[in-house]
Structure 1
């Protein structure tokens, strides 16, 4: 992850949401708990997000899963040579949210996370996305602020995106109406799209949805 421009600038402007409430049907086991370098992927992602985010909400779906994730994170301490460790100082800024619209998929998780954060933009990441592109996040934030947009995202990619907390209210209305499709819901918001400009930015959209994808990732 590039630090060009200084992490602190982003850390002062962004909070974060890690969406981890899915059922992982295609993987066959909880993607957030996949082993990556001896740590659960959840821990790796929180460590990376902490570099650009202040408060981070793990949108866990339900209270049982939130408790499982808290337990999984226990014991991970700072390690200056291992990217993705989760020091106590990071965990102090991590909270867990449960869906207010149970069983309604990732849109409900996004709504739950946005509803827990103070006013402003949040970086949204899926728990199956093992890479983070800081340069792309910077460009998204600049584009979102310039357009006063509700959301900034790569075309056809709803996550590894930025969303303003003011979107929680209209997303809640859509959930009330039975609209659970993320991309369809985002069409109702003021959006700005940002095209990836480098391979590093494109790699941010690798996801570990299947055992085969996970195997390929571990072999790299």
Structure 2
């Protein structure tokens, strides 16, 4: 088990247009995807912030998580720059973090936290980079809180591409490795109904 982080952020403010319904509330093994993800994050971080985009979505997610026995603190962050995509969610989430340091950032369409990948990310902190991520995958990654000001500058200038933003940071980029001990890779994204049903089918096969 990797060392426990102080903070993690879930980006859950997207429009889910390709899925056709709210990805964060997709049912997986009898619970919403967001609940599944937060349950995993409570094992690796002391505080989980859900960047919801809007107040309405925050209320919906608060209801979905209500009554669950999470020991970790759960908080919600609305976009300060509404409608500006994942960088706005990243900015909102990091703005809630009080302590300086690295934050694990994932997206609500990534249903599995890979402990082996997280360990690799944590080991790379010694390099002191602004962000540590797997090539081509800007989330399930570590971001240092010092990038918050740079995020604000990018949003003010409407430079909204995530990979473009990363290109202006000091980064450590890891190569993707497949860990056969984890039945579903932590870098799975569920963007479409086809990807969602394929994921469910893999879970059934792996669990059989």
Is the partner of 2:50 in helix, strand or coil?
strand
Shift of 1:189: 1.1
C-alpha offsets along residues 115-159 of structure 1, whole Å, 9 cap, x if unaligned?
A: 11121110011000011111211111221x221111000111110
> Which of these residues, 70, 79, 104, is aligned with residue 123 of structure 1?
104
Q: Tell me the equivalent position of 2:206.
A: none
CA RMSD in angstroms comes to 1.4
Q: Tell me the equivalent position of 2:81.
A: 101
Shift of 1:75: 3.6
Q: Tell me the equivalent position of 1:159.
A: 139
Distance in 2 between residues matched to 1:198 and 1:88, nearest whole Å: 30
Shift of 1:198: 2.6
Distance in 1 between residues matched to 2:40 and 2:106, nearest whole Å: 11
Distance in 2 between residues matched to 1:215 and 1:135, nearest whole Å: 25
Q: Tell me the equivalent position of 2:157.
A: 177
Give the TM-score normalised by structure 2.
0.91
Is the 1:60–1:98 Cα contact (8 Å) retained in structure 2?
A: yes
For structure 1, which runs of at least 5 residues remain unmatched after alignment?
77-86
Q: Tell me the equivalent position of 1:214.
A: 196
Is the partner of 1:205 in helix, strand or coil?
coil
Is the 2:112–2:188 Cα contact (8 Å) retained in structure 1?
A: yes
- Asked if 1:57 is matched to 2:49, the reply is yes
Is the partner of 2:10 in helix, strand or coil?
strand
Is the 1:31–1:127 Cα contact (8 Å) retained in structure 2?
A: yes
- Asked if 1:45 is matched to 2:37, the reply is yes
Q: Tell me the equivalent position of 1:82.
A: none
Runs (4 or more) in structure 1 with deviation over 2 Å come to 196-202
Q: Tell me the equivalent position of 1:135.
A: 116
Is the partner of 2:190 in helix, strand or coil?
coil
C-alpha offsets along residues 47-72 of structure 1, whole Å, 9 cap, x if unaligned?
A: 00111111111000011100110011
Distance in 1 between residues matched to 2:199 and 2:70, nearest whole Å: 28
> Which of these residues, 192, 213, 216, is aligned with residue 172 of structure 2?
192
Give the TM-score normalised by structure 1.
0.86
Distance in 1 between residues matched to 2:169 and 2:148, nearest whole Å: 10
Distance in 2 between residues matched to 1:148 and 1:179, nearest whole Å: 25
> Which of these residues, 89, 94, 97, is aligned with residue 71 of structure 2?
89
Is the 2:11–2:90 Cα contact (8 Å) retained in structure 1?
A: yes
Is the 2:129–2:171 Cα contact (8 Å) retained in structure 1?
A: yes
